[in-house]
Chains A and B, each alone.
Chain A
Amino acid sequence: MSGTESHGGETPAQALATAKLGIWTFLATEVLLFGGLFTCYIVFRLKYPELFYTEHLKLNRPLGLVNTVVLITSSLTMALGIAAMKQGLRRRATACISLTILLACGFLGVKYVEWSEDFSHGLYPGTNLFFSLYFMMTGLHGIHVVAGICALCWVLVLARRGRFSPEYSTPVEITGLYWHFVDLVWIYLFPLLYLVG
C-alpha cells in the first residue's frame, strides 16, 4: 500500500470518510486533554470564587475580545477556503487559507502583547491559582494554534502545487475541522477567563 493519507476505501469519498473518522477521534482525545484543565478550573473556581473575580480584572479584556473576533474570522475564512476548494476555485481557496494563517499569526501576536503585559505587571504562572490556570490554558491553546499554523502552511503548499481538486481535498477538510476545534476551545476560554462574574 502506498500509505498516502489513507486508503480506507477505493473511492475518494470513502477515503474522506475514513480520514474524517480519524480526525474526529483525534478531536475526542483533544477534548479530554483540555478537559483536565477545565476540571481544574471548575474545582478551583468553586473553591475560591473571590480570587477568580479579583484576579480576572487584571486581564486585558479588550485584547481578549479582539482575539476572539480574530479567531472566529479565521474560522470563517477556513470554511470559505474549503468551500472554494470544493468548487475548484483554487486561487480563491489559497487566498482564504493564506488569510487564515495570517489571522492565526495575528492571534498569537496579540497573545504575545498580553503575556508581555502580564509579565511586566509581575503576573506569572506561579503567582496564584487563577493565573496558573490562565497561563496553562492559554498556553496549551497557543501551542495548538502553532500546530494549526503548521498544518495550514502544509495544506497551502499542497494547494499551490495543485494537489487538490473538487474530488480530492481531504487534507484541507481535516485541517479545517482541527482549526474549528482550536477556535471552539478559545470560545470557551474567553468567557471563563475574561468574563468572570
Chain B
Amino acid sequence: MPDDIAPSPPADRGYLTEKGFLSWACTLDHKRIGLLYLGTTLLFFLVGGVFALLLRMKLMYPGEELFSNKAYNVFFTLHGIMMIFLFIIPAIPSALGNFLIPLMIGARDVAFPRLNIFSYWIFLAGIIVILASLASPLDTGWTFYTPYSATTGAAVTVLSFGIFLVGMSSILTGLNFIVTIHRLRAPGLTWFRLPLFIWSMYATSIIQVLATPVVGITFLLLAAERIFGVGFFDPAKGGDPLLFQHFFWFYSHPVVYVMILPAMGIVSEILPVFARKPIFGYKGIAYSSLAIAFIGFLVWGHHMFVSGMSDVAGIIFSFLTFFVAVPTGVKVFNWIATLYRGSISLDAPMLYSLTFIFLFIIGGLTGPFLGALATNVHLHDTYFVVAHFHYTMMGGTVIGLFAGLHYWFPKMFGRMYSERRALTAWLLIFFGFNITFFSMFILGVQGMPRRWAEYPERFQPLHIASTAGSWFLALGTVLMFWNLFRSLFRGGPAQPDPWGSKTLEWRTGSPPPTHNFAEIPTVTEWPYGFGKKEKERE
C-alpha cells in the first residue's frame, strides 16, 4: 500500500510550491486555474448532491411529508441549477481541460493566460449573482420555461444575469482551448498524433463557443421580458412560448455533449493504458467527437415532441436524433475492441472507465426510446427521462470525471491515494448508483411523472428502493472524496509516470514544474504505442 508512508512532502512541489491567497487568485498558470475550477465545481457537486438526497428522502413518502411541496420545487430547481450550470458543464472542460491541455500538447500554458484567469473570475462573479438570486426561492426548474419563468415572483431576472456570466466564462474558456490546440502543439505533434482527450476537448470547445451565446441571448430576452415587458415569448403580446423552448434547447441539447465528450476523452486515454494495448480505431474515435459536436446541433427538437411543435418538425428531429447515436456507437465499439485480448489491470481509474462504458451503454441505449416519437409520447416527462439523463450524465460524465480524477491525481498533486479505499468507494458508488437510478427506469415505464412531489401509493416501493440506493451512492462518493482529500496531505510520493502512460503530461515531474517542461518535447509518434515494444522486451 503506497498510502500512509510519508507525512513529509515529496521533495519538489513543482507548480504548487508558491503559497498564499494572491498566488492563487492572480495566477496565470493554467494548472492552478484548473485546480481553482476543480475546487469550485466539486463544492457545488457536493451542495447539489445534498439537495438530491433531500429530494430522495421526501420521495420515500407519497404524501406531503418531511417538508412542503413548495420547498420540494425549490430544492429540485437548486439541484438542477447547481449540478448543470455550476458543476457538470464546467467541471471537466474547465478543471481537467485547463490542467491537462497544455501539458498534453507540450505547451507551457494556454494561448491567452490572462483571459484564462479572467474567465475564472467571471465564473465566480456569475456564481455570486446566482447565489444572490436564491434569496427569493426559485421554483422554475432548471429549464426556465416561459410563461411561468416570465411571471413568477422568484428572482429569475437576477439569475438570468448570473447564468449569462457563467456562460461567458464558458465561451472564453472554449475559445482559449481552440486557439491553444491550433497554435501551441509541440514540434512533431500533428493532429493525428494528438491524444484523444485533446480531440474531445476540441469538439467540446466548438460547442461551447457556438451554442453558449444562444443561451446567453435567451436569458437576456427572458430578463427583458420581465423588466421591459418585451413579448417574444408571451402569446398575449403576439409572442411564442415555443420559441423560448427552441432557443433554450438549441443550447441545452448541444451542451449535454459539452458534458459527455470530455468524459469520453478521459475514457479513451485510460483504456489503452490499463489494457496495455494501442487504442482501437483512433481516427474513428477522433472524428466521432467532431461528428457528435456537429450532429448535436441538429437534434434539439426532440425535447419538444409533445410541446405542440408541428408533426413534420417532430419527424425530422426524431430522424436526426438517431444519427447522433451512430458516432456514439462508434466510440463504444472501439473501446470494447481496445479491451479485447488486452492485458487488463483493474486499478481505480480503469474500474471507473469500465463503469462508464457499462452505465453509458444503458444511458445511451435508452436514448432512442425517447428519440422515437411513438415511445416518447408515453415516456415524456416520466421518471424514464430522469433515469436516462442520470445514467448518461452521472453514470457517464461524473463517473468519467471520477476516472480522470484518480488517473491524474498523482500528476496533479505528486501523491498517491489509497487504492484499497478507492475500490471500496467504487463498489458503493456502482451499486448505489444502479439501485437509485434503475428503479427510476421502471417507475418511468409504469407512468410515474417527473417533478411530482406527491404520487400514487403504488409507486412507493420503488421510490424507497431508489432512496436507499441514493444513500449508498452518497456514502461511496463521500468515501471517494475523503480518500483523495486525505491523500493530498498523507499520500505517498508519486512517480512522474506511475501508470506507464505515453502522453506528454507524464514526461514531466509529478507535480509538474510551473513552466511544465524543462525543455519542450519533440513528438515522433502517437501516444498509444503500447504492446509491441513491451512484448519485445519480454
Please give the residue numbers on chain A whose beta carbons come within 8 Å of chain B beta carbons, in ascending order: 1, 3-9, 14, 17-18, 21-22, 25-26, 28-30, 32-37, 39-40, 43-44, 47-48, 51, 124-126, 128-129, 132, 135-136, 140
- Bound form: Cα–Cα A6–B111 in Å: 6
- Bound form: Cα–Cα A17–B111 in Å: 11
> Apart from A21-B183, A44-B232, A128-B238, what are 4 other A-B pairs with CB-CB below 8 Å?
A8-B111, A36-B217, A36-B218, A37-B217
Contact partners of A5 in chain B: CB under 8 A? 112
User: Are B114's CB and A126's CB within 8 A?
Assistant: no
User: Are A25's CB and B230's CB within 8 A?
Assistant: no
Contact partners of A39 in chain B: CB under 8 A? 247
CB-CB under 8 A for A128 and B175, given A35-B214, A135-B228:
no
CB-CB under 8 A for A29 and B237, given A8-B183, A22-B111:
no
Q: In the complex, how many angstroms separate the beta carbon of B255 from the nearest chain A beta carbon? A: 13
How many B residues touch the partner, as a band? 35 or more
B79 contacts the other chain (Cβ, under 8 Å)? no
Contact partners of B515 in chain A: CB under 8 A? 1
Contact partners of A22 in chain B: CB under 8 A? 111-112, 115, 175-176, 179
User: Are A18's CB and B183's CB within 8 A?
Assistant: yes
Contact partners of B108 in chain A: CB under 8 A? 1, 7
A-B contact count (CB 8 A): 115
CB-CB contacts below 8 Å: B224-251 with A: 224, 228-232, 237-240, 243, 247
User: Are A26's CB and B175's CB within 8 A?
Assistant: yes
User: Are A25's CB and B178's CB within 8 A?
Assistant: yes
Contact partners of B214 in chain A: CB under 8 A? 32-33, 35-36
A1: nearest chain-B partner, CB-CB: B109
Q: In the complex, how many angstroms separate the beta carbon of A173 from the nearest chain B beta carbon? A: 15
User: Are B230's CB and A136's CB within 8 A?
Assistant: yes
Judged by DSSP, the binding face of A is helix
B116: nearest chain-A partner, CB-CB: A3
Q: In the complex, how many angstroms separate the beta carbon of B251 from the nearest chain A beta carbon? A: 9
Contact partners of B220 in chain A: CB under 8 A? 140
- Bound form: Cα–Cα A8–B183 in Å: 6
Contact partners of B216 in chain A: CB under 8 A? 33
CB-CB under 8 A for A29 and B243, given A1-B515, A3-B113, A135-B228:
no
CB-CB under 8 A for A30 and B111, given A18-B183, A136-B221:
no
Which of B8-16, B205-213, B266-274, B382-390 lies at the interface?
B205-213
User: Are B228's CB and A124's CB within 8 A?
Assistant: yes
Contact for B175 among A9, A29, A135, CB less than 8 A = A29
Contact partners of A8 in chain B: CB under 8 A? 111, 179, 183-184
Residue-wise, chain B 182-219 has the 8 Å CB interface mask toward A (1 for contact) of: 11100000000000000000000000011111101110
Q: In the complex, how many angstroms separate the beta carbon of A38 from the nearest chain B beta carbon? A: 10
User: Are B112's CB and A30's CB within 8 A?
Assistant: no
B171 contacts the other chain (Cβ, under 8 Å)? yes
Contact partners of A18 in chain B: CB under 8 A? 111, 179, 183-184
User: Are A32's CB and B111's CB within 8 A?
Assistant: no
Could you say which of B108, B171, B515 has the most chain A C-beta atoms within 10 Å of its C-beta?
A: B171
Q: List 18 A-B contacts (CB under 8 A).
A: A1-B108, A4-B114, A6-B179, A14-B183, A17-B183, A18-B183, A21-B178, A21-B179, A29-B210, A32-B211, A33-B213, A35-B214, A36-B217, A43-B240, A125-B228, A129-B238, A129-B239, A135-B228
Contact partners of A37 in chain B: CB under 8 A? 217
